[in-house]
Amino acid sequence: MKLSRLLPREKKSLPGVVGVARVERRSGDLLRRVGAGDIAIIEQADLDRRTAEALVEAEVVGVVNAAPSISGRFPNLGPEVLLAAGITLIDEVDREALRQVRDGTRIRLHDGAIFVGDRQVGRGTEQDANSVADHMIEAKAGMAAQLEAFSANTIEFLRKERMLLLDGIGVPDLEIQMEHRHVLVLAPGYGHADDLKRLRRYIREYRPVLIGVEGGADTLLKAGYRPDVIVGDPGCIGTETLKCGAEVVIPAHVDGHAPGLERIQDLGIGAVTFPAAGNPEDLALLLAEAHRADLVATVGFQATLNEFLDRGRSGSNPSTFLTRLRLGGRVVDGTALATLQRSQTPTGALMLLVFAVLAVAFVALTVSGLGVSYLGVLTDVGNSVFAYLKGLFA
């Protein structure tokens, strides 16, 4: 009797997104350990753009939020960022259900449901482009109330921090000289790495003081620049960056507590604290202002009203508003600066210059009777001019 060979059945792939659950109520703590292929489980109403960008950069495949990602108070930008990156977003999942999901568990998301193995442990609302667009329309109606609350908060903040904002009292001393120099402040905002690339020519010509704000300091180092000053929580900054030789400024709470100070001490790095209620971006601007910088170029900062109201991105909004007023016309957006740099030298004039150089070389070599050997020389001249133009537009 001939026995037939039994073949194993092919395992059917289940629909949805599969990944390792990373559970953390505070998104800031989660961002330090989430990685590629993970599913972030958070509880954050009005998911801000900065948190969403960090999740995209970490290459998560899904986000499960126990809170509404858009509550309707104002049009926050985080959900749009996640969906644009193709990341699944499920909102308002029951907190009790999420407690069944342990950190490190492999889970699956499908059609608003959360599965552990074949067992459904929770369900929420899976957002898509249409649902987020509808929520954003509703949220814009709440902007007037947010602006009124912002005005009241601004007055209160000015009352508490008037000595810092008006007189610069409390700004720490630094060894780097900023007086009569340009300062470039790089924050880890949307598109900051690309904007930095566009400013290569500006950095080469003006050699500004480079201030990196938290993740912006890491970006400077990766781009080949050593930051002169680092501002922010050391827990959000890479070890190599902290050890690069930059002066480190740690924001401190009103009570004097400075998050990340222990890490600095463990690394044996010197640092100064900056006691203030503002966010790291604003403190970096105040440092440049207090040390008499002629111009401050900002990269990765808020650019629109929606971003300005997005509380997670701007931190203390009254601080941002009043800091910009303090610096006045000395602040310029890095994107605009890059545009002006590109438009300074007309391309047509440069091409005429190239042809003029080649023509002069051709005439000179013809008169000298060198014959066809002038082609090699012309090639060298052309290569030199091309290299110059490449460096000019880099």
Side chain identity at residue 30, one-letter code: L
Q: Hey, where are the domains in the chain?
A: 17-140, 143-341, 347-393
Beta strand 113-116 with 119-123 is antiparallel
**What gap in Å lies between CA 288 and CA 9, rounded to an integer?**
67
What confidence score (pLDDT) does residue 50 get?
A: 81
Reduce the secondary structure of 56-68 to three states and give it as a string: HHCCCCEEEECCC
Closest CA to 193 of 172, 159, 223: 223
pLDDT tens string, the chain, 394 residues long: the values are 444 444 444 455 788 999 999 998 666 667 778 999 999 999 988 898 888 988 998 999 999 999 999 988 778 889 999 999 999 999 999 888 888 899 999 999 999 999 998 899 999 999 999 999 988 888 777 676 767 766 777 777 777 777 777 666 778 899 999 999 999 999 987 678 888 999 999 999 999 999 999 999 999 999 999 999 999 999 889 999 999 999 999 988 755 667 778 888 888 898 998 887 778 998 999 999 999 999 999 998 865 666 666 654 444 466 777 777 778 888 888 888 877 776 555 555 555 555 665 665 555 555 555 444 545 555 555 565 555 555 555 5
CATH 1.10.4080.10 fits 17-140, yes or no: no
What confidence score (pLDDT) does residue 295 get?
A: 94
268 Cα distance to chain centroid: 27
What confidence score (pLDDT) does residue 1 get?
A: 42
What confidence score (pLDDT) does residue 8 get?
A: 47
pTM, full prediction: 0.62
